[in-house]
Amino acid sequence: MPNAAFYAAAKLASDPNNPNQLCPQLLMIPSSESLVEFRNLTFGYGERAVLNDISLTLPRGKVTALMGASGGGKTTLMRLMGGQYRAQKGELLLHGKSGTQDITKMDQAALYQARRGMGMLFQFGALFTDLSVFDNVAFPLREHTDLPEALIRDIVLMKLHAVGLRGARDLMPAEVSGGMSRRIAMARAMALDPELLMYDEPFSGLDPISLGTVAQLIRQLNDTLGLTSVVVSHELEQTFAMADYVVLLANGQIAAQGTPDEVRHSTDPRVVQYVLAQADGPVRFHYPGPDAEQDFGAMAGGRA
């Protein structure tokens, strides 16, 4: 990982009052306080709406947590950001280094270019099982750049060092633990130095030590590298302690958003149900479908 001097030099280079600018291209980064904006966005599968008229801003340089019951649309939001899904209505604005673009209207070439500025940690890591740890992290560099192997080696080792696994470079995915696998996936997600880093359930299946390590890494990497991080999570305490901003989704809408403390103390029944882990409440238990009487006929009325 580049050291503090590197970041200090980069900051100095981007100062317009500095007569010896080293990297004038850094001035292209927009001054907007948000990196991603959802404007009245609606998405669904067929006639079933998953997200209904969502308006949301993801602050630049912060860790935003997307929370809510399973099936509430959290992972769908990330897939929309990556352009895997296209919304039926509304705008999804990316305020990136190339200016403001609407992801919902990008052609394939523009979308692939935008994805170069995004990193993704998939649930359970999703490492390539037939590639070594080193080659997993090197994969995006070999796929998307023409860098020489010597430079790729240095970058891969820096990324692995950042997550504490430089010494595991020659291992295969089957030889590492679940927590290590998640950290290797983090190194791979950072390989291209993305501006936006998305984490889909990074804490699933981890023991308390590994969970705390991954949470600490997300926080440290976000702040050290100047990233904007989006974390889908169900783990309340660790996520609330780590995140700057929390968005809680329920039944396809935003039930609450704000600082972790603001969301934790919300009086919205949907938030109370989630935070207190109540089985009964406004968040639906039954998947929408026909009335029981339509399916069961006389049995629904209690008759044999």
Question: What's the pLDDT at 246?
Answer: 92
Confirm whether 55 is domain-assigned.
no
What is the pTM for the complete model shown?
0.74
Could you tell me the pLDDT band of residue 121, with boundaries at 50, 70 and 90?
A: confident
Question: What's the pLDDT at 133?
Answer: 92
Collect all residues with Cβ–Cβ distance below 8 Å to 35 and sequence separation of at least 6: 58, 59, 60, 94, 95, 96, 195, 196, 228
Percentage of the chain exceeding pLDDT 70: 83
Q: 139 lies in which domain range?
A: 129-193
Lowest mean pLDDT across 85-89, 97-101, 252-256, 258-262: 97-101
Could you tell me the pLDDT band of residue 28, with boundaries at 50, 70 and 90?
A: very low
pLDDT beyond 50 at 219: yes
Question: What's the pLDDT at 32?
Answer: 57
Question: What's the pLDDT at 203?
Answer: 82
pLDDT beyond 60 at 12: no
Confirm whether 166 is domain-assigned.
yes
Number of domains in the chain: 1
Between strands 89-96 and 63-68, the pairing is unpaired
Confirm whether 21 is domain-assigned.
no
Query: Residues 18, 22, 24, 25: is their CA dihedral positive or negative?
Result: negative
The chain-wide mean pLDDT, for the chain, equals 79
Confirm whether 159 is domain-assigned.
yes
The answer to whether 26 and 16 are in contact (CB under 8 A) is: no
Question: What's the pLDDT at 273?
Answer: 79
The answer to whether 169 and 132 are in contact (CB under 8 A) is: yes
Confirm whether 111 is domain-assigned.
no
What are 35-69's pLDDT values in tens digits?
A: 888 988 888 887 777 888 888 888 888 999 998 87
pLDDT beyond 90 at 135: yes
pLDDT beyond 80 at 206: no
Could you tell me the pLDDT band of residue 18, with boundaries at 50, 70 and 90?
A: very low
The answer to whether 257 and 263 are in contact (CB under 8 A) is: yes
Question: What's the pLDDT at 136?
Answer: 92
Task: State which amino acid sits at residue 225.
Answer: L
Confirm whether 290 is domain-assigned.
no
Confirm whether 188 is domain-assigned.
yes
pLDDT beyond 50 at 27: no
Higher pLDDT, 210 or 40: 40
Question: What's the pLDDT at 6?
Answer: 37
Residue 70 three-state SS: coil
Question: What's the pLDDT at 301?
Answer: 56
Confirm whether 165 is domain-assigned.
yes
